[in-house]
Amino acid sequence: MTDSSTIFAELRRDALAIRKMLLAMHYRAKSGHIGTGLSSIDILALLHKVWLGEDDAFLLSKGHGASALYATLHHYGRISDEEIATYYQDGTLFPAHPAPRAVPAIVAATGSLGHGLSIAAGIAYARKHVHEQTTRVAALLSDGECNEGSVWEAAAFASHHGLSNLLVVVDANGLQGFGTTREVLDMEPFADKWRAFGFATHEIDGHDFEQLHAATRELDPQRPTCIIARTRKGNGVGFMEGKLEWHYLPMTEAQYRDALRSLDGESS
């Protein structure tokens, strides 16, 4: 049996490799949305390596972070080298936002923010109350996405129906397309809102695998669970961290090399 310290060490190595793959993908594609991918990789690695079972479902509601999901699935052997090389290219099955059925792990298209939790709640309801299955459903949202009323409609639905098989993780990196989440539409006290909607709620450091593991280890047996994972946009790449422009910008060759050095702990 693998002890937890070994798992956390493996997750740190996995996350570093996934970040490097994400950078390579974006550099080849000359595409943006790098920062939002980097903030979510630790969450995605923990979910896909530790939490998700073979028959569990995952929804990436923050669809603009698709490259991080692709890189994670590639790292764990669910997307091939040949497939990942087509990211953001003409005719690809792996565009900037997830396309359904490209691979079995991608169950729905997500791009218009605020829709993923509704889909996840519907799947969780069907599994729990219609098919009487014990499999689980996880959805990864962004904090800016929680400006959308549809998120809270889905949250109310999930709580009303006691969807204890549903896990919501919010990648709360504090930035969205046009500013900080506090400036655009302040949702604080954020955790209290999820509690008010009937969720068992945890607030953690989203880059701390020990905290992520503890928060996801056991779902509440009576109600849905929400984890607010406080993260940093551009995490791991010093010149991108906390910078709004990396919601959009592609990398130059020099920036790509600097980003790789930053991940390896080297100064540029």
The confidence score (pLDDT) of residue 1 equals 42
* Mean pLDDT taken over the chain: 95
Give the CA angle between residues 9, 44, 15 to the nearest 5°.
35
Locate the DSSP E strands across the chain.
Answer: 57-60, 137-142, 166-172, 175-176, 179-180, 200-205, 225-230
Q: Cβ neighbours of residue 125 under 8 Å, at least 6 residues apart?
A: 157, 158, 161, 163
Domain of residue 57 covers 4-263
Alpha-carbon span 149 to 26, nearest angstrom = 31
The confidence score (pLDDT) of residue 2 equals 59
176 domain-assigned: yes
Spatial contact of 147 and 184, defined as CB atoms under 8 Å apart:
yes
Q: How does pLDDT run across 159-205, given as a tens digit for each residue? A: 999 999 999 999 999 999 899 999 999 999 999 999 999 999 999 99
127 domain-assigned: yes
What's the pTM? 0.96
pLDDT in tens, the chain (268 residues): 457 889 999 999 999 999 999 999 999 999 999 999 999 999 999 999 999 999 999 999 999 999 999 999 999 999 999 999 999 999 999 999 998 878 999 999 998 899 999 999 999 999 999 999 999 999 999 999 999 999 999 999 999 999 999 999 999 999 998 999 999 999 999 999 999 999 999 999 999 999 999 999 989 999 999 999 999 999 999 999 999 999 999 999 999 999 999 999 975 4
268 domain-assigned: no
Question: What pairs with residue 175 in β-bridges?
Answer: 180
The confidence score (pLDDT) of residue 6 equals 94
Spatial contact of 224 and 166, defined as CB atoms under 8 Å apart:
yes
The confidence score (pLDDT) of residue 118 equals 98
34 domain-assigned: yes
187 domain-assigned: yes
258 domain-assigned: yes
CATH number for position 234: 3.40.50.970
Q: How does pLDDT run across 46-61, given as a tens digit for each residue? A: 999 999 999 999 999 9
Give the CA angle between residues 109, 48, 30 to the nearest 5°.
55
234 domain-assigned: yes
Domain total for the chain? 1
87 domain-assigned: yes
